[in-house]
Every structure is written in structure tokens, then in C-alpha cells.
Amino acid sequence: MSLNKDLLEEQEPDIVAESQTPQNEQKINIKGLLFDFLFYALLIFVCIYILPNYVIQRTIVDGSSMEDTLRDGENLYVEKISYRFDLLDRFDIIVFYPFGRDNEEYYVKRIIGLPGETIQIIGGEIYINGEVLEENYGKEPIADPGRAATPITLGDDEYFVMGDNRTISKDSRDIYVGNVEKENIGGKVIFRILPFSRFGKID
């Protein structure tokens, strides 16, 4: 009789443990669901807000001012990190808002002059700080120097930009566009995604 009692006492802890198992599993499931919800909510926030505003964004070329490098209707990827850390270089192609960020209109042009430099166009040649700039991006010779007929000295946060199709491009030579301030730069063009026949990195 005592032996059976001892056996029952030994079994009691196992019975209690089994009765607690479903509750523990339910707690674990709730924690797992909560973690999944927070993870996917964060992922959606990053994809919808963080990436397009601070990392990378798709844009579409409108017009022919950057031919032959970029053509009307092409889809591009623009990264938004370089300009924030002053990593833009001469000849980079940028997206900027010529009339300020409050205006949705944006241009796509190539950087010719960097902050602090003096730019002038004489006889179709671009001069940087008094020396001829060696470059071959122009589709046509520069017929109209615009405001760059006289020396233009850029501020600490200003860039001088031009389109590769120099004959028709409305760029920093135009008084209504002028020098591009850093705060109005939207990003640096890095990749062409459409059309597929021209898919790839952009120089």
C-alpha cells in the first residue's frame, strides 16, 4: 500500500508539468506573433519611407537634355547618400530641384564645377580655376556660354551643372537655373533599369 502511494507521489509533479505545457506554448506563440508583427511593420516602414527618402529611389528621364548618355523615358536608380556626406565628384550625374524642394519639378544634369571653384566658358571650352577642363561628355560643342561667359565663383555648398546635350540643355548657364545648392540636390544617378537594352551602371 505504501509502495503505491510513493509511486503516486512521484507521478504528481509530472501531471502538474503536463498541465502547464499548453499555457507555456500559448505564451511563446503570442510572443512569436508579436515579434513577427513588429518585424514586418518595421520592414514596411523602411521600404515605404526610409529607402525612397534617404537611401535609393527610382526616377524617370524627361526630355533629351542628357543625350546621348540618358534618353527620354529611361528609368533610373538614384542614391541619396553621397550628397549628404559631400561625396559628389566632378562628372557625377545628379537629380536636383532647380526651383527648390517645394516645387516638384526636377532636372537631371552632370556636375561640372565643384564648391569653391571658378567656372568660365570661353570659345566653347570650359575653364575651371583658369585651366581648360578635359572632358568629352558633350554631344555638341558649347555654342552659348550663357552666364558663364564671365567667371562664376561657386559657394561652399554650390555646384555648376550642365546637360550632355549642350545645345538644348537648360542648366547652370541659364540665369533661371543658376548654381545648384546642396540642399536642392535629390541624389546621384547610379543605375539604369529601363529599357533592358541599356540596362546597367551609368558613367
Residue type, 129: N
Q: What is residue 20's three-state secondary structure?
A: helix
3-state SS of 127-171?
EECCEECCCCCCCCCCCCCHHHHCCEECCCCEEEEECCCCCCCCC
C-alpha cell read off for 151? 567667371
CA 103 to chain centre: 18
Residues 183 and 83 sit within 8 Å (Cβ to Cβ): no
Active site residues: 65, 109
Dist CA 172 CA 46 (whole Å):
35
Provide φ and ψ at 198, rounded to 5°: -120, 20
